[in-house]
Structure 1
Amino acid sequence: MSLAAIDFRDQHGRDAGTLDDITARLLDSSAALSYDPNVEVRWDEPIPADHYGLNPEWSTLYGTRLWDEMSEGQRILLTRHEVGSIMQTGIWFEMMLQQLILRDQYAKNPADSEFRFALTEIADECRHSLMFARTCEVLDIPQYLPPRATVELARFLKTTARAEQAYGPILIAEEILDVMQRDWMRGENVVHIVRSTSKIHVVEESRHMKFARAEIKHSLKSAGRFRREMSAHLFAGAAYFIARAMVSPEVYVNVGLDKQRAVEEARHNQHRKAMMRLSCVHLMDFLADCGLLTRRVMPVYQSVDMI
């Protein structure tokens, strides 16, 4: 069956057209509404000392006893290191997803809108990684990396993933960040470079999420029960490692907190759990609609507070 013959529906059940239709519209959107971070972000403007790195409500320690004991300066510094850790996790993941997309599009017809949008997305991701890296430089954030085991597992995934298994982890990472950054870009007490970079990322990633959903639905058209269950497990595993890698425990050390206590309080922080679930509502709805939120994988998502 050709791509052009497959129909899709949007999140409200309306006919969204074929994959070619969707990617053609996404190309038009990219041409009309894309940003150059070098122009749009006020990199040289001084960073106010009293502005957070992200909305305090999104901090891993907000609502804990430790948060109450911290000085305002420590809270501000923590949120800056947390957003830096999240951005650097984003850079690591964007480098991986670029390889996944390139491998998926290898030797496909360059005249197809699907191929052209895939390369457009890669160009977007390169700019996003550069702007996240520059944000960390301006905020004086040290390097944060996911655990070594996560890095090596991701190396295996990006080398072997095919079809929906390539686009699933991409969608998961983008969906989690989307809700957070929609808050950050409106936060009046958030540093301006985080607000600006969040706005750019939200606008451009909305196209990437539509593309990933369309690719996943297309791939699952031919998937049998066993493959669908295998993909459900891969999606859940990717979600587990992505969620756990977002904020490095080393941020607590670097802002002068007791690492063991901070990790423990963050792990049991009911406010953080609620915010995490909030950021995953649309993702869980999509996975359920695709038959990928199965009984066997539900405990994995629950273990990282995504449902």
Structure 2
Amino acid sequence: MARSTLALGNPKITDRQDTGARLLHSSARMSYDPTVEVDWDAPIPDDLYGLTPEWSSLYGTPMWDEMTFEQQITLTKHEVSSIMGTGIWFEMILQQMVIRDMYAKDASQAHFQFALTEVADECRHSVMFARTAEKFGCPSYVPRKSVVTLGRGFKALASGEVAYAGILVAEEILDVMQRDWMKDTRVQPIVRVTSKIHVVEEARHMRFAREETLRRAEGMSRGHRAASRACIAIASNLIISSMINPAVYAAAGLDTERAVREAKNNRFRAEKIRESSQPLMRFLDEADLLGGPSRQLYKRVNML
């Protein structure tokens, strides 16, 4: 029998309107305007990484050791731009799912108002990410066409616990990465400050998504739960596999075929992905949304 999420010790479901009111208060007290907080006119240092080097897809491989320092800098700038491009893609999916969920709901409720506040935050984040990649002189990286097509279907059809757990996938994993980037003095200032903005504001979004996932998952049938587990795992696979566009390797003057192969077999990278996935995996397990074939799907992309 499926566990009751209401019986779980952590996380807990609280009153929806109370949560909305608290998150609205937090938004009013601590939100950022990237157009003001980020010094977009500051020069880009030549000797700082685009992200914490340990988060590079090639760190720990023979290829990384063979690269010049300048190539490492270039690669990490393109990698962070690729991750941000994937973030923009999924934030646009997120916005549409949240708006669809709130359609024709009671606009006087705090829950509704925070949902729209979240959409506004995500719009600012997407522009912030886009401007960061532009400052680095990087292209607008997007997932491969097949993933974009599947994303269209997901944003149009996903609802309930699948939609909100899907939202958590990108937010939770990026949160762990960015907490490292924002504290690392080896990383470009523009990435450190945009990471800080994203971490602070996404904390509210993750709280909202966790509670909505639990509410929607409560009382599901065994078949419904199994289907939801599979859908969330598939979405996770698409997001994780899309973070690093293979074109980043060519941009750094590398052999793309070899780089893709070494990144795929990079045990250090696999461990970093598992590390960043731990909060999400714990939550899904506590919500009884992790089990059966879905475990194998997570293992394929090193989330378990």
Letter in 2 for 1:41: V
Between 1:141-150 and 1:194-203, the stretch displaced more is 141-150
After superposition, the CA RMSD in angstroms is: 1.6
CA–CA separation in structure 2 for the residues paired with 1:168 and 1:275: 21
Aligned pair partner of 2:27 in 22, 26, 30: 30
Distance 1:109 1:222, change over 3 A: farther
Letter in 2 for 1:31: A
Aligned ranges 1:121-270 → 2 under 5 Å: 121-270=118-267
CA–CA separation in structure 2 for the residues paired with 1:87 and 1:127: 13
Please, what TM-score do these two structures have when normalized by structure 2?
Answer: 0.96
Instruction: After superposition, give the CA deviation of every residue in 1:97-126 in whole Å (9 maximum; x if it has no partner).
Output: 100001011011111111001000000000
Larger RCO: Structure 1 or Structure 2 (Cα < 8 Å, ≥ 6 residues apart)? Answer: 2
Q: Tell me the equivalent position of 1:3.
A: none
Distance 1:10 1:93, change over 3 A: farther
Q: Tell me the equivalent position of 2:292.
A: 295
Deviation (angstroms), 1:45: 1.2
Distance 1:99 1:138, change over 3 A: same
Contact 2:48 2:188 in 1 (8 A): yes
Whether 1:105 and 2:69 are equivalent positions in the alignment is no
Aligned ranges 1:43-62 → 2 under 5 Å: 43-62=40-59
Aligned pair partner of 2:93 in 76, 87, 96: 96
Instruction: After superposition, give the CA deviation of every residue in 1:136-176 in whole Å (9 maximum; x if it has no partner).
Output: 11110012110111000010111111111211211101011
Please, what TM-score do these two structures have when normalized by structure 1?
Answer: 0.95
Size of the aligned set, in residue pairs, is 301
Extract unaligned runs of 5+ from structure 1.
1-7
Contact 1:9 1:17 in 2 (8 A): no
Extract unaligned runs of 5+ from structure 2.
none
Deviation (angstroms), 1:11: 9.1
Contact 2:13 2:214 in 1 (8 A): no
Q: Percent identity?
A: 52
Q: Tell me the equivalent position of 1:20.
A: 17
Match of 1:17, SS state, is coil
Whether 1:79 and 2:73 are equivalent positions in the alignment is no
Deviation (angstroms), 1:15: 5.5
Letter in 2 for 1:214: E
Deviation (angstroms), 1:221: 1.4
CA–CA separation in structure 2 for the residues paired with 1:172 and 1:46: 33
Contact 1:16 1:22 in 2 (8 A): no
Letter in 1 for 2:175: D
Distance 1:119 1:75, change over 3 A: same
CA–CA separation in structure 1 for the residues paired with 2:201 and 2:7: 18
CA–CA separation in structure 2 for the residues paired with 1:23 and 1:10: 22
Letter in 1 for 2:145: R
Contact 1:10 1:16 in 2 (8 A): no
Letter in 1 for 2:141: Y
CA–CA separation in structure 1 for the residues paired with 2:242 and 2:173: 12
Letter in 2 for 1:250: A
